[in-house]
Amino acid sequence: PPRIDPPPPPVKPWFVALMAFLLLLPLITLLFILPKAMVPVQSSYDGLVIWIYGTDAEYLDMKNWLEPEILANGLQWTIAHATDRYDLVDMLRAGDGDLLVIDQEFAEELYRGQALAPLMDKLHGPTWDNCFVPFWDAQPFRKTYGWAIPVTANIDDARHLFTVVRQFAPAFTP
């Protein structure tokens, strides 16, 4: 005699509800995350900002070098400190940063990402030599710091301060 297989078990309603929930979970998540991602990030600094990326000691040395020149020329700049490059990149995306004092390695990363503007207006195009100007020639086992301007900056004012410091301030020595 032929054997008849038993009918498949009925689908449980809780299983259907669980599958529907799992399919809709990504859409529900996007519903809450997307509005926050669409809001532009607001700048947290008033005026023009110089970001110095380095250790606390390097920051203090550079701030003590820059501050007298800024005050002597009556310029309104805020000198800010960043120790984490990812935090600094987030600040630059938010438009918080008009001039950078960063090491050459970080500047190369920003340059490859097309995030740097030319420092000097007379030179055409964002070439490496035009986007990063070091304080000193590269030396082994020593960080090479220098100037850079992010593309989100107030470029004309950043070029002005760069020119003022380059012309009138004594050379920076760590």
Nearest CA to 80 out of 54, 49, 106 is that of 49
CATH number, domain 48-168: 3.40.190.10
Confidence check: pLDDT of 125 > 90: no
Q: Which two tokens stand for residue 89?
A: 């990149």
Confidence check: pLDDT of 124 > 70: no
Q: What is the pTM of this model?
A: 0.68
- Which pairing describes strands 99-103 and 48-53: parallel, antiparallel, or unpaired? parallel
Three-state DSSP at 12 gives coil
Q: What is the pLDDT of residues 63-81, one digit of tens each?
A: 998 898 888 888 888 888 9
Nearest CA to 44 out of 70, 82, 73 is that of 82
Q: Which two tokens stand for residue 108?
A: 């190369």
Where in the chain are the domains? 48-168
Confidence check: pLDDT of 138 > 70: no
